Amino acid sequence: MPAMKQWFALSAIGRDRPGIVADLSQLIYECDCNLEDSSMTVLGTEFAVLLLLSGQGEDVRERLAAACKRLEWEKRLTVFFRPLESDPAGVPRETDHARYVLHATGLDKAGIVARVSRCLADHGISIRQMETQSRPEPESGAPFYTMRIEMDVPGGVDEGLLRERLDAIGRELYVDVAVERSR
């Protein structure tokens, strides 16, 4: 009888350099695991990755733990992994929701992400993906902030009220906030 498939989430961060993806994919291959899903980005000078893995065998967790420690030591990465309780592909996603995209732009100041994400959470909205960036404006050099959020809005959310609250946050922080239904 074949061993049951096990699922793991693995995250890693380290100074950006060529070969990080190769190092991580080699680790996964050597542990007889499959890379199921991934998200990677460069943040400043750091490379960050989040991976979804599957593997079989009674000792797969121990093999991954040993390989992650070795990779941390040899390649100066911070690596964390944990087993998942169930097959993520088998967990039904909520279907009574609509996908929206939120854009916020303005001068960078503390609290933009905290205030917007709290408003979304208070409405039961799940953030699927978020990208933020602060860069100096070409003319003045002042820090200009952009945020893009892909989110799942449950069917029962009052869209008018949500927009009112987001507009109020935008006015308080001097940030333009726009929400549109994703196609």
Are residues 42 and 105 located together in one domain of the fold? no
Residue 27 CB burial class (10 angstroms; 0-12, 13-18, ≥19): buried
Are residues 43 and 22 located together in one domain of the fold? yes
Q: Does any domain span residue 154?
A: yes
What pLDDT is recorded for position 148? 96
Q: What angle do CA 95, 99, 102 make, to 5 degrees?
A: 150
What is the number of structural domains in the chain? 2
Are residues 27 and 55 located together in one domain of the fold? yes
Which domain does 144 fall in, by range? 97-181
CA pair distance 163, 57, nearest whole angstrom: 50
Query: What pLDDT digit, counting tens, does each position of 23-65 carry?
Result: 999 999 999 999 999 999 999 999 999 999 999 998 999 999 9
Q: Flag residues of the chain having pLDDT under 70.
A: 1-2, 89-95
